């Protein structure tokens, strides 16, 4: 898989949520997402910027397009789950020498884990133990 920038990822995320989609549909979705937090002044997504990012994603074979009349409809070629798994593994390798425990411990020490997170982690560990004994 090729490297995808943060901005490209945001475009891809909008596309994963609803596809096939035109550039205008994607721009609208991106700008809706920036309006959700009124306390923080977010960037507005501009037509040219999004179209440039779409072209980059096409060249990287992360998305495809189909021309319908005067519009292009874009669809993802990368599956969200496969991409996030690859990126997660890469982060853990780079930052934590491949060990997940220090990552989770860091969140726990900062009180960034809530009861639902802990419950989900316990469930994952329990399932792993059942399947790997």
pLDDT in tens, the chain (133 residues): 578 999 999 999 999 999 999 999 999 999 986 655 544 446 789 999 999 999 999 999 999 999 988 889 999 999 999 899 888 888 888 888 888 888 888 878 887 778 888 888 888 888 888 888 7
Is residue 72 in some structural domain? yes
**Domain range for 44:** 6-76
Is residue 86 in some structural domain? no
Q: What is the pLDDT of residue 23?
A: 94
Bridge partners of 67, per DSSP, are: 72
Task: Check whether residue 68 and residue 24 sit in a common domain.
Answer: yes
Please give the tally of structural domains in the chain: 2
Q: What is the pLDDT of residue 127?
A: 87
What is d(CA 9, CA 18) in angstroms, rounded to the nearest whole number? 14
Task: Check whether residue 47 and residue 104 sit in a common domain.
Answer: no
Helices 6-17 and 47-59 pack at an angle, to 10 degrees, of 90
Is residue 88 in some structural domain? no
From residue 13, give the alpha-carbon distance in Å to each of 4, 59, 62, 120: 12, 17, 12, 24
Task: Check whether residue 14 and residue 66 sit in a common domain.
Answer: yes
Q: Taking the CA of residue 7 as centre, how many other CA atoms within 13 Å lie in the half-sphere pointing to its CB?
A: 13
Name 72's Cβ contacts closer than 8 Å, sequence gap at least 6: 22, 23, 65, 66
Q: What is the pLDDT of residue 40?
A: 47
CATH of the domain at 42: 1.10.10.10
Residue 69: CB atoms within 10 Å: 5
Q: What is the pLDDT of residue 39?
A: 47
Q: Which tokens go with 44? A: 């507005």
Tell me if the pTM is above 0.85: no
Q: What is the pLDDT of residue 41?
A: 46
Task: Check whether residue 11 and residue 65 sit in a common domain.
Answer: yes
Is residue 31 in some structural domain? yes
């Amino acid at each position: 898989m090729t490297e995808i920038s943060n901005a490209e990822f945001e475009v891809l995320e909008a596309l994963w949520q609803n596809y096939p989609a035109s550039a205008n549909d994607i721009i609208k979705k991106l700008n809706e997402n920036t309006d959700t937090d009124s306390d923080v002044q977010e960037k507005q997504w501009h037509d040219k910027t999004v179209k440039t990012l779409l072209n980059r994603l096409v060249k990287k074979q992360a998305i495809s397009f189909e021309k319908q009349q005067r519009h292009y409809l874009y669809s993802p070629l990368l599956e969200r789950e496969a991409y996030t798994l690859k990126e997660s593994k890469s982060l853990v390798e780079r930052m934590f020498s491949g060990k997940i425990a220090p990552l989770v411990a860091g969140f726990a020490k900062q009180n960034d884990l809530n009861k639902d997170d802990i419950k989900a982690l316990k469930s994952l560990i329990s399932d792993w133990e059942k399947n790997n004994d």
